[in-house]
Structures are given as C-alpha cells and as structure tokens.
Chains A and B, each alone.
Chain A
Amino acid sequence: EAGVVQSPRYKIIEKKQPVAFWCNPISGHNTLYWYLQNLGQGPELLIRYENEEAVDDSQLPKDRFSAERLKGVDSTLKIQPAELGDSAVYLCASGRVATDTQYFGPGTRLTVL
C-alpha cells in the first residue's frame, strides 16, 4: 500500500511570493490533516478534513493561508504571500474517520528568503 505522498519535498522562495503544497493521502482514507513543524518543535495542527469538509481550521492563519480538498481526496495548502516566519516543514497526514491512527507523509520543507 502506497503511503501519503507530498510534493514538492523542498521549496525555496522569496518573501511575499506565493507557494503551494500538494498532498495525496493513502487510498481509502477519508480524513486528512495538515501540520506545521517548526525546527526543534513538534508538529502543530493547521487544518483537518473529513472527506471534503474542513471540520477544524481554527489554527489556520486565514489571512495568508488557504487549503482545499477537492473531491475528498487530494489536498492543496497555499500561502500567499509568504513571510520569513513561514519557513518550516509542512506535513500531511491521513486516516479514517473514528480511528485515531494517522499516517504521515515525508513533508515539504519550505525556506523563505
């Protein structure tokens, strides 16, 4: 079974530029999560989807961050415009509703210059 796929693995941009990250969850998983992991810290939840519905986006900075999950499968997380403080690893995870195990992708390491 293929794992969670994320792309790109690495991204370097200049501040004020837009950036997008893509995630393909494990087949059959209807929950999808985006986490932010700063250097030396544990991941922090940004947004949680059940199918195509964002059921918890309370930690998503909506002034510059947006996310979508069309058709309840793949998801895209966007930052516009990026700031220096957005440099971090963005992790995607998936799972099944009413189960508590989440499976993580390799992450996208963003560097904002």
Chain B
Amino acid sequence: GNSVTQMEGPVTLSEEAFLTINCTYTATGYPSLFWYVQYPGEGLQLLLKATKADDKGSNKGFEATYRKETTSFHLEKGSVQVSDSAVYFCALINNSGGGADGLTFGKGTHLIIQP
C-alpha cells in the first residue's frame, strides 16, 4: 500500500535560517506528490506539488523536487520567516488507478520559527 514518512517535529529554527523537512514515500504506480501547510486555526492549504520524476514544485519561496530514485520529496526554503510557523504535511496520490484518489498523508511536521 501507500505510505508517507516525514521527519518528526517540532522543528525549531531562527528567522532567516535554511529549512529542510524530509519526506520519503512508498507507493505502487506513479504517484503525484504534495506538500500541504496548516497554519494555526486554519484548514489545510496546498503549498506545492510535483506530478512526475525530477519535477520541482515551488511556491512562496518553498521548493521540493520529486526524486524517484530515492523516493523522496524533501521540502526546502532558503530563509524562513516567523510567518512560516505552521504544520507541514507531505502527501501523495497514486495515479495508477486513474481518477481522483484519496490523499495519503504523513504525520505532519510542526515548524516553529523564532524571531
């Protein structure tokens, strides 16, 4: 079956530090990969996605590259801000069956940015 493993938090960084949140996956077929973000008191928001190997998703200064050889989709940002404090979820959809399947999520990583 499908599974997503991401680094456990909380991850605490100072403002302007470099961020990496690791994510690896197991899937049958050819999944699409996602990062969702959940700010305090808000719903899940799509941050970025990649649909095939070597694709790079990017948004709001965040990037992640779909690495099929290492089954990874690590999230990076060069300089974090206090406003990036949130819970980040790595997720996948298995496209082998066609249609719009349900997402498989990791457990989430709580990111805390200190001024």
Q: How extensive is the interface on chain A, given as a class?
A: 20 to 34
From known contacts A45-B103, A98-B98, infer whether A40 and B46 are also in contact, taking CB-CB under 8 Å. Answer: no
Task: Provide the residues of chain A in CB contact with B101, threshold 8 Å.
Answer: 48, 56, 100
Whether A43 and B105, one on each chain, are in contact in the complex, defined by CB atoms closer than 8 angstroms, is: yes
Whether A91 and B43, one on each chain, are in contact in the complex, defined by CB atoms closer than 8 angstroms, is: yes
Whether A97 and B99, one on each chain, are in contact in the complex, defined by CB atoms closer than 8 angstroms, is: yes
Smallest CB–CB gap between A82 and chain B, Å?
Answer: 23
Q: How far is the CA of A42 from the CA of B108 in the complex (A)?
A: 6
Smallest CB–CB gap between A5 and chain B, Å?
Answer: 11
Task: Provide the residues of chain B in CB contact with A107, threshold 8 Å.
Answer: 43
Task: Provide the residues of chain B in CB contact with A3, threshold 8 Å.
Answer: 43
Task: Provide the residues of chain B in CB contact with A106, threshold 8 Å.
Answer: 42-43
A55 at the interface (CB under 8 A from B): yes
Q: How far is the CA of A4 from the CA of B45 in the complex (A)?
A: 11
Task: Provide the residues of chain A in CB contact with B103, threshold 8 Å.
Answer: 33, 35, 43, 45, 93, 102
Nearest-neighbor residue (CB-CB) of B106 within chain A: A42
Smallest CB–CB gap between A93 and chain B, Å?
Answer: 8
B98, B101, B108 — which one has the most chain A CB atoms within 10 A of its CB?
B101
Q: How extensive is the interface on chain B, given as a class?
A: 20 to 34
B91 at the interface (CB under 8 A from A): yes
A14 at the interface (CB under 8 A from B): no
Whether A42 and B43, one on each chain, are in contact in the complex, defined by CB atoms closer than 8 angstroms, is: no
B56 at the interface (CB under 8 A from A): no
Task: Provide the residues of chain A in CB contact with B49, threshold 8 Å.
Answer: 100-101
Q: How far is the CA of A44 from the CA of B102 in the complex (A)?
A: 9
Chain B 85-115, CB within 8 Å of chain A: the 1/0 string?
Answer: 0000101010100111111111110000000
Q: Using a CB-CB cutoff of 8 Å, which residues 40-61 of chain A contact chain B?
A: 40-45, 48, 50, 55-56
From known contacts A42-B4, A50-B99, infer whether A101 and B105 are also in contact, taking CB-CB under 8 Å. Answer: no
Report which B residues bind A (CB closer than 8 A): 4, 32, 36, 42-46, 49, 51, 89, 91, 93, 95, 98-108
